Amino acid sequence: MTSRIEHISQQRREKLDRLRASGINPYPHRYHRTHTAQQAVDLLKQKEAGLSQAEELEAAVAGRITARRLMGKAAFIDIRDGSGKIQLLFQDIKQLDARRSELFDSLDLGDIIGVSGTLLRTRTGEPTIKVRDFTLLAKSLQPLPEKWHGLSDTEKRYRQRYLDLIANTEVRDIFQIRSRVISAIREFLNQRGFLEVETPALQPSAGGALARPFVTHHHALDQDFYLRIALELHLKRLIIGGFDKVYELGRAFRNEGISTRHNPEFTMLESYEAYADYNDIMNMLEEMVAGVCQQVLCKEEVEFEGNTISFKPPWRRINLREAVKEYSGIDFVQYPEVDLLRSRMEEMKIEVDPEKNWARLVDELISTFVEPHLLQPTFLIDYPVSMSPLAKTKPDNDRVVERFEAFAGGMELANAFTELNDPIEQRRRFVQQQKERRKEGEAETVDEDFLLALEYGMPPTGGLGVGIDRLVMLLTNQQSIREVILFPQLKEKP
RNA sequence: GGGCCGUUAGCUCAGUUGGCAGAGCACCUGACUUUUAAUCAGGUGGUCGCAGGUUCGAGACCUGCACGGCCUACCA
């Protein structure tokens, strides 16, 4: 007994063989279409609006068959291309010549065809091409997902994203928006005189953030490399080299947990601007996000998890210490030692990992108490220096750095600071960080190459990092990062 | 790493107290010249995720495993 799928596939292979035997190429090389489906519909509308004098409107379109309604001597077929859907009317299919008749009978849902004919509107008002000639462009051997419910099996949607894209038009929309968001960001930065650059993804040491990297090996060099966890250190080298405004839109890789907000590879924007500080960056970021939102969605606010989020500048700006005090009741400055802070948190019945250092405890306070409240775009400003080894301290307080993180929809969107450009101080911070890491049992090397670069002199610089995937989540109201990444990481199926 | 949930036809899903494996769509055959989730009549299609166990009998109950989802943990 053959299963259904084997049976369908078998039938289609037999059709394929019959077509070939009749001299029909089921996979021809090209088709000259004159219109996309959308253009054909627009053409018809123009004529109806009296903008065209033509008696009969001709169009040749091509696309995938998504529905078929056979009516005896007539047939309606829906095809879809990248622009949308259009209906085809085949009349008098019993009168087709032998070759076309055979081809018509062999058509299946999922096949790609090209058709030419005249535009009309049926009595129900559907824009339609009355087909004069048609040709097979690609035979499909697999049945499509169900037409009404689409494809909803999450695993299958991710593993076979092409089926998801065929079956679920909302999914197409998300990735079109993603593309436009990235274009809009490029445009914004280019217009401001930023230079787009590309820096290595394979690095001898993975710096610029503290995350576990992926390790790989270069055979010819016989050397281990790390996939970058941030773009930061190379972009700063370019600031030193005299490019005053640079940015990179690229993939970063972190060998950590996977969740609705984390994918092992994700897309970051990092930008660096010489002679700017974090206040300038704040202004730029809120202007950029509001502008991108306006340009892509034609509005300045979005719905996210049932809340309306407005990106209209200026965004709320609150001091980190004040925010933590407000939402958790703990003023971490009053607990400058890790043990003090930990016991204060334990008093509040917060589960505290005894391995965590002071900076990470503060981080936990932020993510537990503050982050979930930050629905409207908010800048958290001025972080403890121990949490921020690459940021410059405030002129009047060497325990606090000029750093902000931007939040919206309860998610961290961006991280930015006035960059530390004192090479001696930077070395001290790296060494300090290395000690902390050793305590946690992880060795970390000081990036001597970067420190050497800093010694040549880096201008005062404002730097920014934005999680593009999360920004797209916000703009498309998606609660899982996998819904905005075309091929999210899944475990290989055995 | 931990908890909860899911996995049944190509797709979307039912499956009662443990008692013959079901529906819709899709597919095949037939009818039908303006339908659009077309309609009507008939038909084909199953490793019930995998491996064990309990039982006269398991899709269902038990154990383990795999994959996925959500939560949690981890996470600059």
Q: How far is the CA of A477 from the C1' of B45 (A)?
A: 40
Measure A65 CA to B14 C1' (Å): 30
User: A84: which 2 tokens?
Assistant: 């949308």
**Residue with CA nearest B12 C1'?**
A149
Token digits of residue A274: 């010489």
Give chain B positions with protein CB within 7 A. 1, 6, 9-13, 24-28, 31-39, 44-47, 66-76
Nearest DNA or RNA nucleotide to A123 (CA to C1'):
B34
Q: Which nucleotide is nearest to A494 (CA to C1')?
A: B66
> What is the distance in angstroms measured between the alpha-carbon CA of A194 and the sugar C1' of B15?
62
CA–C1' A376–B74 (A):
27
What is the three-state SS of chain A?
CCCHHHHHHHHHHHHHHHHHHCCCCCCCCCCCCCCCHHHHHHHHHHHHCCCCCCCCCEEEEEEEEEEEEECCCCEEEEEEECCEEEEEEECCHHHCCHHHHHHHHHCCCCCEEEEEEEEEECCCCCEEEEEEEEEEEECCCCCCCCCCCCCCCHHHHHHCHHHHHHHCHHHHHHHHHHHHHHHHHHHHHHHCCCEECCCCCEECCCCCCCCCCCEEEECCCCEEEEECCCCHHHHHHHHHCCCCEEEEEEEEECCCCCECCECCEEEEEEEEEECCCHHHHHHHHHHHHHHHHHHHHCCCEEEECCEEEECCCCCEEEEHHHHHHHHHCCCHHHCCCHHHHHHHHHHCCCCCCCCCCHHHHHHHHHHHHHHHHCCCCEEEEEEEHHHCCCECEECCEEEEEEEEEEEECCEEEEEEEEECCCHHHHHHHHHHHHHHHHHCCCCCCCCHHHHHHHHCCCCCEEEEEEEHHHHHHHHHCCCCHHHCCCCCCCCCCC
Query: In terms of Cα–Cα distance, which of A173, A464, A472, A171 is closest to A302?
Result: A472
CA atom of A1 to C1′ atom of B56, Å: 29
Contact call for residues A426 and A419 (beta carbons, < 8 A): no
Cβ–Cβ < 8 Å for A181, A471: yes
Distance CA A484, CA A81 (A): 22
What is the distance in angstroms measured between the alpha-carbon CA of A210 and the sugar C1' of B76?
A: 5
Query: What is the distance between the alpha carbons of residues A266 and A261, in angstroms, rounded to a whole number?
Result: 10
How many angstroms separate the CA of A105 from the C1' of B29? Answer: 14
- The confidence score (pLDDT) of residue A1 equals 43
Residues ≥6 apart with Cβ < 8 Å to A488: A158, A263, A481, A482
Structure token digits, residue A128? 């339609």
Q: Which nucleotide is nearest to A465 (CA to C1')?
A: B76
**Nearest residue to B45 via alpha carbon and C1':** A4
Own/partner pairs, A150-157, CB within 8 angstroms, 24+ separation:
A155/A490
Integer distance in angstroms from CA A253 to C1' B50?
A: 33
For residue A80, which phi and psi values (nearest 5 degrees)? -130, 135
Name the pTM for this structure.
0.94
pLDDT at A206: 86
Task: Measuring from the CA of residue A155 to each C1' atom, give the nucleotide at the shortest distance.
Answer: B68
Nearest nucleic acid nucleotide to A257, CA to C1' distance: B74
Distance A92 CA to B35 C1' (A): 15
Residues of chain A with pLDDT under 70: 1-2, 437-445, 494
What gap in Å lies between CA A67 and CA A80, rounded to an integer?
10
Distance from residue A166's CA to nucleotide B1's C1', rounded to whole Å: 37
**Closest nucleotide relative to residue A389's CA, C1' based:** B76
A78: nearest nucleotide, CA–C1' criterion: B36
List, in order, residues 6 or more apart from A102 with CB less than 8 Å away. Answer: A18, A19, A22, A24
Alpha carbons A392 and A422: distance in angstroms, whole number: 8
Give the nucleotide at minimum CA-to-C1' distance from A437: B76
Q: Which residue is nearest to nucleotide B25 (CA to C1')?
A: A146
Q: Report the distance separating Cα A213 and Cα A225, nearest Å.
A: 10
User: Nearest CA to A488 among A162, A261, A169, A159?
Assistant: A159
Predicted local confidence at residue A146, as pLDDT: 87
pLDDT value for A387: 87
